């Protein structure tokens, strides 16, 4: 089979105006941003805010493995498949971060015959939204240090500034830094840190804001640190939120592109559900839901990460819960979680070992890891359709083992999906199953059931997620985290949703714990207030908000020829 890059380059893109018109979006409602890409205008968004909404399908997966489970492939492929069977459908996917593109993933626009185009541009900057987030975030950082230098009217305590800096790159050397060195002209000497841009509160605000007014209000409510008398100091106190909003003015508008089969596709918002909430933007969802009967979106990493945050953060903000959850799984992921490659995560076996039939391991993985994911999602009152992303090495016995286990766990349907190799036609069975599940769910009128009341204390919320979804015995809160939580409560933010930052590779905080571990406590190292975004980040275990590069980064195999063509990128 040809590489993803070869397939993308051989594709003939339709004019973006023609693609948008399939959703009833006219040319004057678009701002072209290069070949095959456009921004939706603000006027177009406003006119659709109160229109009837379609059905929302959330694609998630089991805990990811080093092999990749193809969640974005399934999201795009399901969209193509829905259109193939005659449904009005589109998808909303997240914008790739250049950190993982140059680090380990090499691309995040789907793959095979289930891609969004123009693939090369999507993986490299697209319309510059992540750079706008970086600039807006660091503008506030610069204004904070300038405020300290020129009188510090807010009495901001330099030792208690919580606002970091960000960059859209994996750079572990920036995790802990010192700024202001070189004398008084360079500002106040203090400790600081860098996070990756996708983990920025500004990214979360961009994704969760409902309109420009909400965006501006949330930016102003960012808490950047503590005053010397113990009060929160906000971005509006520093005077930076207005300028930040201007930097984000265009980035706030959703991007529309197309799938390999010419179906409309929205791309907007940041990834990284392990250290952020990892979902696409509310405003892109609203545009899509007002324009199509079925909207397919994805949540980052496994269902214990992005999907949980969709249910408790995004849905609570948007008011729109999923009408169906698609659980993506592979035979090879079940082999790993079933112990075929050892009893620890992160193992990359050779090709022969990876592809060798092992029904016992597949069964062990499906009856533990997959079972917990299905039951967790069904507990929200939403039907779960399991999509087995089929590889050529999968045997009938292995596929049957997953199918039987998924049905036993309560899946509404189980489908083999071959969209990577066959495009939309390879997902027809999945598309039909999803339509049936959605129609039955809507007819039944089952309520959406979050784990807790929105007004519950943040520690209770964290405990509920840990014990009911992760199946931990409880949470172990460090002394530092307790002090932070006491302050957050004293400021009146103790009821906000919690965004759990933990490893994506396990239900536990330990990436090596495969399957469905029990008998552990979740260690909470820090609580970080994201008042503007409207949630509190709980840092679990050893989780870092600035990733590092692997031993051999994907960037080392990338280059450009004399005509500006990419070499060695994205397969």
CATH number at residue 265: 3.40.50.300
566 or 30, which is more confident? 30
Residue 73 within a domain:
yes
pLDDT (tens digit, 9 = 90+) per residue, 336-383? 999 999 877 667 788 999 999 999 999 999 999 999 999 999 999 999
Are 346 and 422 part of one and the same domain?
yes
Does some domain include residue 545? no
Same domain, yes or no: 315 and 432: yes
- What CATH number has the domain bearing residue 164? 3.30.1510.10
Residues 287 and 422 in one domain: yes
State pLDDT tens for residues 127-144: 999 999 999 999 999 999
Q: Single out the residue of 514, 472, 508 nearest to residue 365, CA to CA.
A: 514
**Amino acid 69: pLDDT:** 85
Average pLDDT estimate for 255-271: 94
The pLDDT of residue 407 is above 80: yes
Instruction: Please report whether residue 555 resides in a domain.
Output: no
- The share of the chain scoring above pLDDT 70, in percent, equals 98
Using alpha carbons, select from 498, 495, 493, 497 the residue that is nearest to residue 526. Answer: 498
**Would you state the pLDDT for residue 459?**
98
Residue 173 is assigned to a structural domain of this protein: yes
562 or 348, higher pLDDT: 562
Mean confidence (pLDDT) of the chain: 94
Question: 445-454 b/e with 16+ CB inside 10 Å = b?
Answer: eeeeebbbee
Residues 86, 216: one domain? no
Residues pairing with 528 in the sheet: 537
Q: Are residues 176 and 63 in the same domain?
A: no
Q: Do 240 and 353 sit in the same domain of this protein?
A: no
Domain count across the chain: 3
- The whole-angstrom distance between residue 542's C-alpha and the CA centroid of its chain comes to 20
Identify whether residues 112 and 28 lie together within a single domain.
yes
pLDDT of residue 346: 63
| 365 and 430 share one domain | yes
Confidence bin at 123 (pLDDT 50/70/90): confident
Q: pLDDT category, 565, cuts 50, 70, 90?
A: confident
Q: Are residues 271 and 377 in the same domain?
A: yes
**What's the full length of the chain, in residues?**
571
Q: What is the pLDDT of residues 167-177, one digit of tens each?
A: 999 999 999 99
For 202-212, write each residue's pLDDT tens digit. 999 999 999 99
My answer on whether 273 and 315 are in the same domain is yes
Regarding whether 402 and 314 lie in a shared domain, the answer is yes
Where among 247, 281, 314 does a domain terminate?
247
Examine the pLDDT at 511 and tell me if it is beyond 80.
yes
pLDDT per residue over 381-397, tens digit each? 999 999 999 999 999 99
Whether 414 is in a domain gets the answer yes
Mean pLDDT computed over 224-251: 97
Whether residue 451 lies inside any domain: the answer is no
Among the candidates 394, 416, 444, a domain finishes at: 444
In a domain, 453, yes or no: no
Give the domain extent around 504. Answer: 458-540
Are 168 and 106 contained in the same domain? no
**Domain termination site, one of 444, 478, 497:** 444
- Here the CATH number for the domain that contains residue 507 is 3.10.410.10
Q: Answer whether residue 369 is part of any domain.
A: yes
Lowest average pLDDT, out of 103-107, 484-488, 507-511, goes to: 103-107
pLDDT at 106 > cutoff 70: no
C-alpha–C-alpha distance, residues 406 and 414, integer Å: 7
């Amino acid at each position: 089979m040809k590489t993803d890059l070869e397939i993308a380059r051989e594709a003939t893109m339709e004019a973006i105006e023609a693609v948008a018109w399939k959703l009833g979006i006219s040319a004057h409602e678009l701002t072209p941003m290069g070949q095959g890409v456009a921004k939706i205008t603000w006027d177009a968004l406003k006119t659709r805010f109160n229109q009837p909404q379609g059905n929302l399908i959330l694609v998630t997966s089991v805990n990811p493995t080093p092999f990749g489970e193809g969640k974005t492939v399934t999201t795009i492929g399901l969209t193509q498949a829905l259109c193939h069977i005659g449904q009005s459908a589109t998808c909303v996917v997240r914008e790739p971060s250049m950190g993982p593109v140059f680090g380990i993933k090499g691309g995040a626009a789907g793959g095979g015959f289930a891609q969004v185009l123009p693939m090369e541009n999507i993986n490299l900057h697209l319309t510059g939204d992540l750079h706008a987030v970086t600039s807006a975030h660091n503008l506030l950082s610069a204004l904070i240090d300038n405020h300290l230098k020129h009188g510090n009217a807010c009495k901001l305590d330099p030792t208690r500034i919580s606002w970091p800096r960000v960059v859209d790159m994996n750079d572990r050397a920036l995790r802990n830094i010192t700024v202001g060195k070189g004398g008084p002209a360079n500002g106040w000497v203090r400790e600081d840190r860098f996070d990756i841009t996708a983990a920025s509160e500004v990214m979360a605000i961009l994704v969760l804001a409902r309109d420009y007014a909400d965006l501006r209000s949330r930016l102003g409510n960012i808490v950047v640190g503590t005053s010397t008398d113990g009060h929160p100091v906000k971005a509006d106190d520093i005077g930076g939120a207005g300028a930040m909003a201007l930097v984000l003015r265009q980035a706030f508008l959703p991007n529309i592109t197309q799938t390999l089969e010419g179906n409309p596709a929205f791309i907007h918002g940041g990834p990284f559900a392990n250290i952020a909430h990892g979902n696409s933007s509310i405003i892109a969802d609203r545009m899509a839901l007002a324009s199509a009967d079925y909207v397919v979106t994805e949540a980052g990493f496994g269902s214990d990460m992005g999907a949980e945050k969709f249910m408790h953060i995004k849905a609570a903000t948007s008011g729109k819960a999923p009408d169906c959850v698609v659980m993506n799984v592979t035979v090879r992921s079940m082999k790993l979680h079933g112990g075929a490659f050892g009893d620890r995560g992160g193992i990359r076996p050779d090709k022969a070992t990876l592809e060798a039939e092992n029904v016992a391991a597949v069964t062990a993985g499906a009856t533990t890891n997959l079972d917990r994911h299905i039951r967790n999602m069904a507990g929200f009152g939403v039907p779960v359709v399991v999509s087995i992303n089929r590889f050529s090495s999968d045997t009938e016995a292995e596929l049957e083992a997953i199918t039987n286990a998924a049905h036993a766990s309560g899946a509404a349907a189980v489908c083999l999906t071959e969209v990577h190799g066959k495009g939309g036609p390879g997902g027809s069975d999945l598309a039909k199953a999803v339509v049936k599940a959605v129609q039955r769910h809507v007819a039944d009128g089952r309520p959406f059931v979050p784990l807790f009341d929105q007004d519950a204390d943040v520690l209770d919320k964290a405990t509920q997620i840990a014990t009911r979804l992760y199946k931990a015995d409880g949470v172990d809160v460090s002394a530092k985290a307790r002090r932070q939580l006491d302050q957050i409560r004293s400021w009146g933010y103790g009821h906000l949703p919690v965004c759990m930052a933990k490893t994506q590779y396990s239900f536990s905080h330990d990436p090596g714990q495969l399957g469905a571990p029990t008998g552990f406590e979740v260690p909470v190292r820090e609580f970080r207030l994201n008042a503007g975004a409207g949630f509190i980040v709980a840092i679990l275990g050893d989780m870092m908000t600035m990733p590092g590069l692997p031993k051999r980064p994907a960037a080392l195999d990338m280059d450009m020829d004399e005509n500006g063509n990419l070499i060695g990128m994205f397969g």
